[in-house]
């Protein structure tokens, strides 16, 4: 979630390592999503991150100057809801408050705080499904008609209905949809399964600390790839297709390519499924410590069905994140499969070309390497397609 937040802040023109920004959150310090996000916000940005409002199942706290970080982190450590925030830690701002949602009036204040508090970013990290819907989305607007947040990063699922998202984006709100912003939870599970398939529990314990660290790095990289692609597509399409729509299109394209590649690979023999290209893909997908210490088991212990699923999903995501949505979006099914196979072969050729350029004495070799790195595989794929029969 925080990787998407970081991308969104830069999209808003905010450098969070140098500039102050404000956040409002649903979900308490004792919650998994909200609690972890609070810790990450403070770890990454310190006092630059001003959490102005938090509402959870027990109460709410609001401070236009930013809720005291020491007190927020105490609640996270002790697993306490926001109603335990000490009033002594509020600023002198007369609008600041802490309430327990114990009567109808206070419940109403808590329920409306996410919409009324003004902030740069809103992170729904808890709350009831479809809290914001067709009937109440206008509550999220300020008196001048602009949204009460400049952007939303959906840490919790289905806080907004699709119609509410559409209406608010029409008002200028930028939104990273839940299926993009918190999809790393599903990806994380795949790494847990991978380790369980390859090694014994006692072996995993020995590498657990390093393994977890490497998984987190991979999750950050994958989240950044999706967030940056969505923003790139948003601008390349002249901001006419909103981020939520792009998220849906992206998921559909990746899923389609995954299914087509998987179907194509089904017909391969066991020997073909273990060719060097696919073996290398499995090694690259796995955290480095698993590849380094258990490389042989990584190739032999994974069931064929799981190996096929990993390869298909990895190919699809890698191609779409690298080359963009539109390259494969409108190709017919057979052309997608052929393009993928061309691309994989040309990637190997590209690495050899880059090695040769890097070892050369070209005066501008760094520039050539950058060009090859950014667009080389796609260009080589197109050249290969031209030399072979046209894709129908």
Q: List pLDDT tens digits, range 250-305.
A: 999 999 999 999 999 999 999 999 988 899 999 999 999 999 999 999 999 999 99
**Which residues of the chain are in CATH 3.40.50.720 domains?**
2-182
| Beta bridge pairs of residue 24 | 53, 122
Q: Are 186 and 179 in contact (CB under 8 A)?
A: no
The predicted structure's pLDDT at residue 390: 46
pLDDT band at 392 (very low <50, low <70, confident <90, very high): very low
Q: How many C-beta neighbours within 10 Å does residue 4 have?
A: 27
Cα gap 386→342, rounded to integer Å: 11
Full-model pTM: 0.90
- Tell me how many degrees the CA angle 21-217-223 measures, rounded to the nearest 5: 55
Query: Residue 353 to residues 112, 341, 375: CA-CA distances in angstroms?
Result: 59, 19, 13
Q: What is the pLDDT of residues 13-64, one digit of tens each?
A: 999 999 999 999 999 999 999 999 999 999 999 999 999 999 999 999 999 9
Burial class (CB in 10 A: 0-12, 13-18, 19+), 297: middle
Pairwise CA distance, residues 264 & 315, whole Å = 13
The CATH H-level superfamily of 2-182 is: NAD(P)-binding Rossmann-like Domain (3.40.50.720)
Strand 174-176 vs strand 149-153: parallel, antiparallel, or unpaired? parallel
Round to whole Å and give the CA distance between 158 and 180: 12
Cα-Cα-Cα-Cα dihedral sign, residues 307, 308, 310, 314: positive
Which tokens is 129 given? 């499904």
Return the H-helix or E-strand segment holding 176.
strand 174-176
CA distances from 300 to 62, 75, 296, 387 (A): 55, 46, 6, 37
Residue 174's DSSP bridge partners are 151
- Band the pLDDT of 373: cuts 50, 70, 90: confident
The sheet that has 97-100: what strands, in order across it?
A: 97-100, 59-62, 49-55, 21-26, 119-124, 149-153, 174-176
Q: Which residues are paired to 51 by β-bridges? A: 23
For 83-199, where are the alpha helices, taking DSSP H only?
Answer: 104-116, 162-170, 178-181, 184-198
Measured CA to CA, the distance from residue 50 to residue 223 in angstroms comes to 23
pLDDT at 389: 52
Give the tens place of pLDDT for each residue, 220-260. Answer: 999 999 999 999 999 999 999 999 999 999 999 999 999 99
For 127, left (φ over 0), alpha (ψ -120 to 50), or beta? left
Give the pLDDT confidence score for residue 167 in this predicted structure.
98
* High-pLDDT (> 70) share of the chain, %: 98
Buried b or exposed e, range 298-315, using 16+ CB within 10 angstroms? bbeebeeeebbbbbbbbb
> What pLDDT does 342 receive?
82
Inter-residue contact 154 to 132 (CB < 8 Å): no
Which residues are CB-neighbours of 252 under 8 A, at least 6 positions away?
none
Q: Cα–Cα distance between 159 and 165 in angstroms, integer?
A: 10
**Helices 243-265 and 333-358: angle between axes, nearest 10 degrees:** 90
Most confident of 21-35, 358-372, 375-389: 21-35
**Dist. CA 359–CA 273, nearest whole Å:** 33
Question: Mean pLDDT across the stretch 118-126?
Answer: 98
Contact present, 282 and 337 (Cβ < 8 Å): no
Distance (Å, rounded) from C-alpha 272 to C-alpha 386? 26
What is the number of other CB atoms lying within 10 angstroms of the CB of residue 278? 21
């Amino acid at each position: 979630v925080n990787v998407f937040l970081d991308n969104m802040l830069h999209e808003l023109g905010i450098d969070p390592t140098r500039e102050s920004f404000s956040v409002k959150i649903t979900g308490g310090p004792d919650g998994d999503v909200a609690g972890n996000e609070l810790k990450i916000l403070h770890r990454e940005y310190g006092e630059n991150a001003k959490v102005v409002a938090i509402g959870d199942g027990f109460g709410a706290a609001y401070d236009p100057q930013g809720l005291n970080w020491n007190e927020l982190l105490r609640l996270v450590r002790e697993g306490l809801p926001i109603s335990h925030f000490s009033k002594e830690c509020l600023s002198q701002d007369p609008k600041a408050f802490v309430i327990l949602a114990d009567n109808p009036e206070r419940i109403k204040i808590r329920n409306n705080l996410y919409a009324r508090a003004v902030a740069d970013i809103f992170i729904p990290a808890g709350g009831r499904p479809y809290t914001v819907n067709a009937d109440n989305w206008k509550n999220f607007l300020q008196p001048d008609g602009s949204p009460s947040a400049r952007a939303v990063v959906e840490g919790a699922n289905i806080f907004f209905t699709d119609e509410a998202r559409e209406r608010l984006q029409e008002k200028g709100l930028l939104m990273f949809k839940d299926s993009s912003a918190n999809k790393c939870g599903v990806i994380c599970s795949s790494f847990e399964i991978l380790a369980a398939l390859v090694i014994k529990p006692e072996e995993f314990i020995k590498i657990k600390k390093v393994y977890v660290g490497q998984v987190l790095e991979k999750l950050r990289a994958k989240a950044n790839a999706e967030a940056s692609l969505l923003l790139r597509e948003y601008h390349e399409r002249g901001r006419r297709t909103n981020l939520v729509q792009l998220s849906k299109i992206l998921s559909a394209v990746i899923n389609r390519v995954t299914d087509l590649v998987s179907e194509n690979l089904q017909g391969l023999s066991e020997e073909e499924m273990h060719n060097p290209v696919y073996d290398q893909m499995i090694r690259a997908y796995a955290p480095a410590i698993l590849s380094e210490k258990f490389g042989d088991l990584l190739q032999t212990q994974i069931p064929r069905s799981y190996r096929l699923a990993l390869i298909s999903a990895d190919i699809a995501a890698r191609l779409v994140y690298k080359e963009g949505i539109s390259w494969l979006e409108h190709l017919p099914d057979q052309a997608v499969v052929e393009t993928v196979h061309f691309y994989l072969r040309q990637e190997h050729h590209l690495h050899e070309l880059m090695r040769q350029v890097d070892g050369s004495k070209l005066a501008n070799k760094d520039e050539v390497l950058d060009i090859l790195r950014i667009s080389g595989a796609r260009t080589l794929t197109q050249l290969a397609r031209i030399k072979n029969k046209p894709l129908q």
